[in-house]
Structure 1
Amino acid sequence: MGKVNLELSQKQYEKLVETVYLGTWMVNSTRMELDDEFEDVRELVLAKYKEAELEDRVVHQEEMGIYDLDVDYESKLLDTYVEEYDEFSFWDKLVEKLADKEMAERYGANQDKMTDEMMEERVQIEEKIGQKLEETGVTKLNFTDE
C-alpha cells in the first residue's frame, strides 16, 4: 500500500493531535489491552510535535520510547470533550433503554422486525421519556413493584 503525506498548518496539526488522542482514548478506554494499530497512529502523529512547536502539550517519554500528551493538556481535552459526550450519551442511552423496556412490555421481548406503526410508536415513546427526563431528571424514576 502506498504512503499518504499531509501538509498541515500548525493549527490543523494541533486539531489532528486532539482528534487522534480523543479517538485513541475512546477505543482503548474500555480495553484491557491497547489497540496496537491505533497506538501506532497516535505515536506517528505525536512524534511530529516539535515541528509544530507543541513542546508544552506533547512529551516524549524516552525511557519508555513513547509520546504522550502533557497531563494538564490531556485533562483539558477530557474535561472539554469526553465529559460532555458522556453526559449526552448517558441521557440518550437511558431514553433508548427505557423505550426498549416499554416496547418489550407492549410487544414482547423478541421484536425482530418492527412495523412502521411500531417504529412510529417507539419514536413517540422516546419523545415522551425524553421530555419527562428533561423535566424531572432521574428523581422520578421508580424501579420498585409498587
Structure 2
Amino acid sequence: MKINFTKKQMKDLLTLVEAGNWVINSFRDEPIEQYEDLYNYILNAAHQMNMPEVVYDKESDQAYLTHDAEEEIHEFISEYDDYTFWDELALNLAKRDYANEMNVRNDTREEAFLRIIEFEEKYAEEFYKNGLKNLVIKSKK
C-alpha cells in the first residue's frame, strides 16, 4: 500500500510519531523495536520529502528530528505530563486512602468505586487550589 502525504500532513505525522515513540520507549532501557523501527521509517520518509524538521546523519545512516522540531513536539508531551500528573496523583492517593480504610468496610465494587471517587475529588480540589503547597511526606523513623 502507498500513502501520499502533503508536507503539512507529514509534519503532523512526525509530531504524532515522536510523541507516541516517546510515550512507549523513552523510559525503557531497551526500546520496543517494532515502534522504534516504525519511528525511524517515518523519519527516513520525511527526510526523503526534504522536510526541514529532519536532518540526516550519513555516518550513522539515520534521520533525526532537528533540535527545534523535537523541542516543539516535546512541549505537547510536557503539557500532557503536567495535565495527567495531577489526575494520577489524586487517583493514587485516593486508592491508597481507600486501601487504608478497606479493612473496616465491606463495600461492593460500586461502593468502593464511589468511595475512591470521593477521595479523588477531595485531592483534586486541594491540588487545584494549592498545588503541592500543602502536600507533606511523613517519614517513619
2:124 — aligned with what?
130
Cα deviation, 1:116-135, whole Å, max 9, x if unaligned, reads 11211111211111001111
Moved more, 86-95 or 135-144: 135-144
Choose from 118, 123, 126 the match for 2:112: 118
Structure 1 gap ranges (5+): none
The whole-number CA distance in structure 2 between the counterparts of 1:62 and 1:92 is 44
Mapped partners of 1:33, 1:117: distance in 2? 41
Which of 107, 111, 135 is the equivalent residue of 1:141? 135
Q: 1:22 aligns with which of 13, 19, 23?
A: 19
Q: Percent identity?
A: 26
Amino acid at match of 2:61: G
1:40 to 32, 37, 41: 37
The aligned residue for residue 84 of structure 1 is 79
* CA distance 1:128–1:71, shift in 2 (3 Å): same
Number of residues of Structure 1 aligned to a counterpart in Structure 2 = 137
Structural RMSD (CA): 2.0
Higher RCO (CA < 8 A, seq sep 6+): 2
| TM, length-normalised to structure 2 | 0.86
What is the one-letter code of the residue matched to 2:122?
K
SS of 1:48's partner is helix
Identify, as 1 or 2, the structure richer in helix.
2
Matched, 1:69 2:58: no
- The residue identity in structure 1 corresponding to 2:14 is V
**Which segments of 5 or more consecutive residues in structure 2 lack a partner in the other structure?**
none
Question: TM-score with structure 1 length normalisation?
Answer: 0.84
Does the 8 Å CA contact 2:47/2:63 hold for their aligned counterparts? no
